[in-house]
Structure 1
Amino acid sequence: MLLTDRLVYVHMPKTGGTFVTSVLERLHQPSPNRLQGLWHRARRHLGRPWAEAPGKYGRLRNVEPKHGTCHDIPASHAGLPVLSCMRGPWEWYVSQYEFSWWKRIGQYDPNDPSTPAGWAIERALPAFVKERPHFPDIGFAEFVELCDRAADIYNGETGTDFGLFTHGFVRYFYRDPPAVLRRLSDRYLASAEHAGDRFDVTFLSTERLNADLQRALVRFGYEPDDVAFVGQLGKILPMGIGRREDQRWERYYDEALKASVRQRDRFVFRMFPDYDEASGAMGASA
């Protein structure tokens, strides 16, 4: 999670957060004058992070948990605008699969906080692995099955049948996730109550991230000339891991698997209708 004097950035995994983080760190670097430079070098010598040095746009703090939800926003920043990224469900599952973090769960510090998706997958994984001696060499359809099993851990608590993306999205951006999940319906989505149950978040589309981020930053008070570079930036990948241009999401799905994801994450598709078919084909991302 990134905290600034102007906004809070909530980093839901695999939606473009590495790109946004890089841009905000660049904007919040110390101003290039001699006094600031000396102050900056002194802080580095003392082991203090450069991102805390004041610059033109004030301080930026990259705080733990890195992938904290809206519930983790500290009271000191609770009144600021919240920025996050939204990615289509079909693309999100492919990105999770190819990034392969789920193969490395045993390497993580067990004391580190888990994301909603990570927490559920960690609990579904032992039984899943016992049934598949070839793990972690599983295909994409098997990975989606793992995600469905993880989602069913939550579904058992809420009496629902939603996919893992839906559970993660609701737990990131709604004030009372279990209550919202139990009430999800077309009528509820159309109600004013639904809007009040969600935190006030400006969503950037991962598929249009350069343009969306540039516009949002101007809206939140960053000068247009200072954010002009955002429109020209190429991909910035977590750990340098990304997909090739030929690894488009459509290649991972047959019609039955695509229909299954559409059904399980149906209300996310209804909240963001551009992600059904048309926007999912915008192109592969990290």
Structure 2
Amino acid sequence: MIITEKFVLLNLPKTGSTFVRSVLKKIYKNRFERNRFFKIAKKLKIMKPPYEELILPNIKFKQGVVNHSDQHGVYSQIPEKDKNKTIVSVVRNPYNRLISAYEFQFWKGRPALEKNILEKNFPNFPNLSIDEYIDYLVLVGENSYEKKPKDIKIGVFSLQFIYFFFKEPKCVIKKLNKEYLENETLFKEDLAEVTFLKQESLSKDLIDFLIHQGFSKKELEFIHTEDKINVTENKTENRNELITPKVIDYIENYEQFYMKVLKSKGIDYVNPF
């Protein structure tokens, strides 16, 4: 996460958060290079750093599954002194995000399943077809997060969303039931106040947000032509081939909570393929 004077950026994976982090760092770098006061203040050590980037323990999985720290800190890890600031993050259509995650292949090097479960269910791992990857995601959702009722269908994006943006994520996951997942209002008291930018219109949304935070249009002009970062290379010639019935079924049956919460925030995602 990145903490600035006015807002906190939470980096939801495979949504465009790397681009946002890079843009913020470039803005502050440009300010420093162009402003004599910043140079003098830094030299005299009387200027606080313009932002703080925190690398935090990964608490999104149960203990022992994933052990590395990373830049993807969650709302509950924000220092108390900063929780009154605007919280901002980026979200993405789950269909595109799932395919991007599959092709990015981070899961091959750091699988989010315990070794015995992985070996039992996927003897050919990491060589998984898209449908086998869906089976992998289902098992991750069932085995790698805090304990929840076994009869609850909820996908990894929805669980991840709870961890990232809910005030007491572990408590929410433990109390999950059919009524909570289907109700249109129960989740609202548990959800933190977050401003969501859409990956599909990220440059525009980011510029609008930063202007609202006091940045000038001039120092944001470069964003329009800034190259995207950490873009997943297409390993399949036609990505539409990866949208199998099993992929669609997974999104429609396991990720409805994720989509419902976003819809309550004015973001309505549908199958783009």
TM over 0.5: yes
* More moved, 14-23 vs 137-146: 137-146
- Structure 1 residue matching 2:218: 3-state secondary structure: helix
Residues 151-199 of structure 1: CA distance to partner in whole angstroms, max 9, x if unpaired? Answer: 0126782212201111111111111224444153333x2x2x5323111
Report the RMSD for the aligned CA atoms in angstroms: 2.8
Residue 136 of structure 2 corresponds to: 146
Give 2:227's match in structure 1, choosing from 234, 243, 246.
Answer: 234
CA distance in 2, matches of 1:231, 1:246: 28
Counterpart contact for 1:91–1:249, Cα < 8 Å:
no
Seen in structure 2, the aligned counterparts of structure 1 residues 194 and 251 have a Cα distance that, compared at 3 Å, is same
Report the equivalent of 1:185: 181
Displacement of 1:35 in angstroms is 6.0
Secondary structure, counterpart of 2:90 in structure 1: strand
Residue identity in the other structure for 1:166: S
Q: 1:100 to 1:168 in 2, by over 3 A?
A: same
Shift of 1:38: 6.7
- Provide the residue aligned with 1:97 in structure 2: 102
1:162 counterpart = 2:154: yes
The CA deviation at 1:202 is 0.4
Name the structure with the higher helix share: 1
The aligned residue for residue 269 of structure 2 is 275
Task: Indicate the residue corresponding to 1:49 in structure 2.
Answer: none
Distance in 2 (alpha carbons) for counterparts of 1:156 and 1:22: 32
CA contact (8 A) 2:141 2:159 kept: yes
Do residues 204 (structure 1) and 209 (structure 2) align? Answer: no
Q: C-alpha offsets along residues 220-269 of structure 1, whole Å, 9 cap, x if unaligned?
A: 221122212222223111xxx52239766533122233122211111222
SS in 1 for 2:127: coil
**Structure 2: gaps (5+ residues):** 57-70
SS in 2 for 1:23: helix
Q: Which runs of 5+ in 1 are unaligned?
A: 44-52, 106-117, 282-286
* Partners of 2:28 and 2:50 within 8 A in 1: yes
Q: How many residues align?
A: 247
Whether the aligned pair in 1 keeps the contact of 2:131 and 2:244 (CA below 8 Å) is no
- Identity in percent: 23
Query: CA 1:38–1:129 in structure 2 vs 1: closer, same or farther (change >3 Å)?
Result: farther
Q: Distance in 2 between matches of 1:4 and 1:223?
A: 16
Shift of the 248–85 alpha-carbon distance from structure 1 to 2, 3 Å rule, reads: farther
Q: Which residue of 1 aligns with 2:213?
A: 220
TM-score by length of 2: 0.79
- Alpha-carbon offset, residue 14 of structure 1: 1.2
| 2-structure distance, mates of 1:147, 1:33 | 49
What's 1:262 paired with? 252
Partner of 1:132: 122
CA separation of 1:180/1:96 partners in 2, compared to 1, >3 Å: closer, same or farther?
Answer: same
Instruction: Quote the Cα distance in structure 1 between the aligned partners of 2:81 and 2:239.
Output: 40
> SS at the partner of 1:185?
helix
Distance 2:74 2:117 in 1: 28
- SS of structure 2 residue aligned to 1:122: coil
How far off its partner does 1:122 sit? 3.4
Q: Any conservation in 2 of the 1:204–1:213 contact (CA below 8 Å)?
A: yes
